[in-house]
A and B are shown apart, each in its own frame.
Chain A
């Protein structure tokens, strides 16, 4: 049994790296569901709005409807997959009870959040990149501010990764978790200007839309790509950054306290 007595070496970054690796492997193991399915869905949207209906619709002067809708579809893929990754992974761990495997280890709350978040961002950005590649078959985009577009996509995926963590902790059933997606995120996405600019709405509805936080992400990303939008770019970044900070603080508070994670 001499093998037991070997001195231990603790590698401080290893718990975080392992959790990140595990989270990435988790979604790659079911990549048909986590990557391929959302890419197919986005491709169908592209086909419908890019190659068929799009030619008969014009919402933004100087751009085809396909050019208008593609940034929104890319960001929609980023948002929904970042959310889905953290929310499903953490909720299933809670549901099956294997969250205790993490609670008994030296992994700290910041490491926990960062690993879950980075894996979710990777999945969201992979889907977004795939949608972007497929979209080149339907329209050319001007990419006015590519760095700003990347920053906005990263911010959106970060923000929704945090929201996924919060939802996974608060939800007690699969039904409750799906309500976050079906009754909150999807309506906010669809009403946040993915398919139309809010400036074409009647004044009341346009004013109301400006309370939709998703508008700032979607419009900001579109503006970075096309160079035009309904909200000033700096305002879009500011609002999105504030939302991300609030959700990060919320998730960090819950996880550091072990709320609904510890017994």
Chain B
């Protein structure tokens, strides 16, 4: 990490994005105390996470990216243990709520080694929240989990955020970050390269995309279309063009017709976080994924 300085505002959902090896997990490990810090300071709600270790650890709940469980215990026992680690007497109501919302009920008395990967991730979310932290850190919580859990997890995160819990998350799925986060930081090679409100980040790329499906595939794009920053897709049968906000699609379609192209279908879209991310990091598209450690 080099000269990293950022503030997560209390009560916000903050996204930390970056390609593989960008330093996201290291940042999270520094905040949660897993990583030693050579220089600098991490303040958690104003408290130094080294000199006020006991207090700050209780304020933070962290779900790490790697699945780590203790195979000696069942979910029920492990949750009791984790609650105790934080010095919090077991709160049956809260525990019950977590179990219910994360769908762990039918599996409570199963050993960890009998659980599927998705269930282990659900347990890890419950484990991170069991002591009611004021800052919840989720390091790619939805990696490898099914769509239903993803939806229920994000609903739950929004719910506890509405109760005042600050959330810091990294995710593989940029559309999730776009939907969930009020502000997003983008890291690359240990540097912070952007930190803005999500809408401001999205506005960094001007214009709209015009996605054109052609009747006849193209082998190469005519040079006369260079001003539209064309990108050939689907073996030449689709073309993505960038048009100005005030430019009409009709004019572009006329230009295509003049070049002898027959258009079968069109669609317009605004650039998303993926495009911003790729633009800032210079990373290559990878199925819409930002990557992760």
Contacts and interface: CB of A to CB of B under 8 A. Distances in A.
Interface of A: 1, 3-6, 8-12, 14-15, 17-19, 21-22, 25-26, 29-30, 93, 96-98, 100-108, 258, 262-263
Given A3-B93, A263-B36, A10 B159 contact: no
B87 A11 contact: yes
Interface string B215-238: 000000000000000000000000
B64 interface: yes
Contacts of A98: 68-70
Contacts of A12: 87
Q: What are the nearest 4 A-B pairs in CB distance?
A: A18-B84, A105-B85, A106-B57, A106-B54
B38 to A, nearest CB: 12
A106 B64 CA distance: 17
A14 B88 CA distance: 7
13 contacts: A1-B163, A3-B94, A4-B163, A4-B165, A5-B163, A11-B88, A18-B85, A19-B85, A22-B73, A96-B68, A96-B70, A104-B57, A106-B53
Interface string B77-96: 10001101111110101100
Contact of A101 (B36, B54, B82): B82
Contacts of B85: 15, 18-19, 101-102, 105-107
B81 A4 contact: no
A98 B127 CA distance: 12
Given A101-B85, A263-B26, A263-B36, 8 more contacts: A3-B94, A12-B87, A100-B64, A100-B68, A104-B32, A105-B57, A106-B85, A108-B53
A8 B132 contact: yes
Contacts of A17: 84
Contacts, number: 107
B62 A104 contact: yes
B165 A104 contact: no
B160 A1 contact: yes
Contacts of A19: 84-85
B174 to A, nearest CB: 26
Contacts of A102: 85
A229 B88 CA distance: 51
A101 B159 contact: no
Interface residues of B, number: 42
Contact of B88 (A3, A10, A22): A10
B187 interface: no
Interface string B146-186: 00000000000001101101000000000000000000000
B72 A258 contact: no
B35 A262 contact: yes
B19 to A, nearest CB: 20
Interface in B1-59: 26, 29, 32-36, 53-55, 57-58
Nearest to A18: B84
Nearest to A257: B36
Contacts of B26: 263
Interface string B123-135: 0000100011000
B97 interface: yes
Interface centre among B55, B73, B77, B86 (most CB of A within 10 A): B86
Contact of A106 (B58, B62, B93, B163): B58
A25 B84 CA distance: 14
A6 B81 contact: no
Contact of B132 (A4, A14, A96, A107): A4
B68 A10 contact: no
Nearest to A107: B85
B192 interface: no
A3 B93 CA distance: 7
A263 B32 CA distance: 12
B87 A10 contact: yes
B34 A97 contact: no
Nearest to B128: A104
B159 A1 contact: yes
Contacts of A14: 84, 87-89
B70 to A, nearest CB: 5
A248 to B, nearest CB: 21
B162 A1 contact: yes
B66 interface: yes
A108 B57 CA distance: 11
A263 B35 contact: yes
A21 B73 CA distance: 12
Contact of B34 (A10, A25, A263): A263
